[in-house]
Amino acid sequence: MTEAAHDRIRADIGANDVVLYMKGTSQMPQCGFSSKVAGVLNYMGVAYKDVNVLADQDIREGIKSFSDWPTIPQLYVKGEFVGGCDIIVEMTLSGELDELFDKAGVTYDKDAAAKIRDANKG
């Protein structure tokens, strides 16, 4: 069961530049952490595949062992695991997410990314 789930995960992250494993969908997140990461990606205009782990128990458990990361959401860029909610928020605020997208050739709205940072300056 786990190997089949890992094969599906490998296929998803291989076929899509950006994949977010989340609870719910990009338009209807089902938890606050998933909502936060999807909100960042949506606001920045990133094209990504959302995978609703609530709809598939094998994927929900398989993604945790695949990445060796215990929580959801999980963001992948160009087949590489980037992190969960706290890491994505931190990377967004520091500009590291922009750098990652630039290096990976992922299109996003640079002005939107700057607005997120400006709105969160303390």
Residue set of the binding site: 31
Residue 49: beta bridge partners?
Answer: 19
Task: Put residue 115 in one of left, alpha, beta given phi > 0 → left and psi -120 to 50 → alpha.
Answer: alpha
Confidence at residue 2, expressed as pLDDT on a 0 to 100 scale: 85
Mean pLDDT value of segment 56-77: 97
Q: In terms of Cα–Cα distance, which of 85, 93, 89, 91 is closest to 32?
A: 85
Confidence at residue 1, expressed as pLDDT on a 0 to 100 scale: 65
- Based on the number of CB atoms within 10 Å of its own CB, is 49 exposed (0-12), middle (13-18) or buried (19 or more)? middle
- Based on the number of CB atoms within 10 Å of its own CB, is 85 exposed (0-12), middle (13-18) or buried (19 or more)? buried
Fold of 2-119: Glutaredoxin (3.40.30)
Residue set of the binding site for [2Fe-2S] cluster: 31
- Say whether 21 sits in a helix, a strand or coil: strand
Name which of 28-32, 39-43, 52-56, 117-121 the model is least confident about.
Answer: 117-121
Mean pLDDT value of segment 31-44: 97
pLDDT above 70 covers a percentage of the chain that reads: 98
Q: Where are the domains of the chain?
A: 2-119
Mean pLDDT value of segment 29-57: 97
Per-residue pLDDT reduced to its tens digit, 82-97: 999 999 999 999 999 9
